[in-house]
Amino acid sequence: MKTNFKRSIFFVVPLLLSLSVSGQSFFENMFGGGDKKNDIPVDAEYIAKADLCNAQYASQGKEYEKFLCSGSEMPRVIDTIVEEDLFSASFCPEKKYGHTYVLVDTTEGYSQKEYELLHDRILASDKLSYIAPYDKLSIINITTKDAIFTEPFFSECKPRSGKTVQEGSMYPMDAITLGKKKKGTLILSYEDFAKKLEDAKSEFVKVGANDSEYSQIMEDLYELSNRSDFQPDWAYRKIIIFSDLLQHSDNIDSMIRSCTKSAAKKCRSFNKIKNSFQEEAWTKFLPDFGINPPEVFVYYLNCESDLQVDTGAVDIWKSYFKEIGIEMKYALESSSGCKNKELVESAETST
């Protein structure tokens, strides 16, 4: 197995020894070790309960937060092998629970500060807390002229955080310790994961702030359906599309023109787009995610091109996903007030 020495542990020995009657017992309690037996069997299953998330947001209409925790009620086994390997290249357990792919796409020219605000709406640490332990999160840029699906700039499984429910975790299994695994190492692993995700934020912002004419969402969904790391061997799969939904590619170049550049600013209908293909070509163009297809959530960046949500872009994508057997859930950027520019200008004025 490859090693990654970025996963580091820092011991301040003199200080810790002074804080404990026995240095040995301190390290056993925090980082494992010793011969004490744990009375919880290693192969026990622990529900990563999504009850709190569902109960908290069901009455508030926060569909995105509910989407993040869907699937987390699945029973899962604490993987002591991967957790006790402090130099493992990955936090992923042997069993494949859930995998969420975030597709970052925009044809609009947002500033980097505006995109930082948008990022924090969907991938900030408070949103991350809804994702179940051991689920994998991958983030990829699809704003490119090339139809080839590039490698994700972030792809990692979420380790257990070490936090109890009283400390803010929705998942009781986050704080359970087995074998040599103790709370201290759980916390360090989670902090390392959070730092990697924070480092990926700069790439997310850079990608999002690109003003690109190309937006090959359909092509990249097809490529995603063929990726070896996103097949039905995962217990459940989810796709989050962070986009203005203005498909523009060599295969379909009429959508961006009709939605934004025509006098009426009304998109061509889904049927017209579909009928522009030969039947066999259209069938080959559609992704096939196999059995147990992924759930899809679209965070629609509508403030720039579809503020009143009347161009028909949402209807096109609902029909497209229905065609491949998936119900599209979505949220509007404008639901937060389209205040990104104002917030950025205010921040710049005050500095």
DSSP type of residue 88: B
Q: Residue 344's pLDDT is what?
A: 40
Selected residue with higher pLDDT from 224 and 264: 224
* C-alpha torsion sign, points 288, 203, 136, 166: negative
- Minimum mean pLDDT among 2-11, 12-21, 172-181, 313-322: which range? 12-21
Selected residue with higher pLDDT from 348 and 205: 205
| The three-state (H, E, C) secondary structure of 33-78, written as one string | CCCCCCCCCCCCEEECCCHHHHHHHHCCCCHHHHHHHCCCCCEEEC
What whole-number distance in Å separates Cα of residue 220 and Cα of residue 258? 22
Contact 324, 98 (CB under 8 A): no
Q: Percent of the chain, pLDDT > 90?
A: 25
Q: Percent of the chain, pLDDT > 70?
A: 71
Q: Residue 313's pLDDT is what?
A: 93
Distance from the Cα of residue 60 to its chain's centroid:
21
Q: Is residue 306 over pLDDT 50?
A: yes
Residues forming a β-bridge with 239: 101, 296
What whole-number distance in Å separates Cα of residue 224 and Cα of residue 231? 9
What whole-number distance in Å separates Cα of residue 100 and Cα of residue 237? 6
Selected residue with higher pLDDT from 164 and 88: 164
CATH code of the domain made up of 93-158+188-350: 3.40.50
Confidence of residue 221 (pLDDT cuts 50, 70, 90): very high
Q: Is residue 329 over pLDDT 50?
A: yes
Q: Is residue 16 over pLDDT 50?
A: no
What value does the mean pLDDT take over residues 290-295? 94
- Minimum mean pLDDT among 56-65, 168-177, 188-197, 287-296: which range? 56-65
Q: Residue 61's pLDDT is what?
A: 62
Q: Is 343 helix (H, G, I), strand (E, B) or coil?
A: helix
Q: Residue 37's pLDDT is what?
A: 42
- The pair of structure tokens assigned to 254 is 């009429």
Question: Tens of pLDDT along 282-291?
Answer: 988 899 999 9
Question: Tens of pLDDT along 99-152?
Answer: 999 988 765 666 777 777 777 777 777 788 889 999 999 988 876 665 556 788
Q: Is 255 helix (H, G, I), strand (E, B) or coil?
A: helix
Q: Residue 17's pLDDT is what?
A: 36
Other C-beta atoms closer than 10 Å to the C-beta of 309 total 14
Q: Residue 110's pLDDT is what?
A: 66
Question: Tens of pLDDT along 233-283?
Answer: 999 999 999 888 988 888 886 676 678 776 678 888 999 989 988 988 898
What value does the mean pLDDT take over residues 292-300? 94
Selected residue with higher pLDDT from 99 and 57: 99
What value does the mean pLDDT take over residues 290-313? 91
Question: Tens of pLDDT along 62-81?
Answer: 788 888 888 888 888 888 88
- Minimum mean pLDDT among 22-26, 182-186, 191-195: which range? 22-26
Selected residue with higher pLDDT from 26 and 78: 78
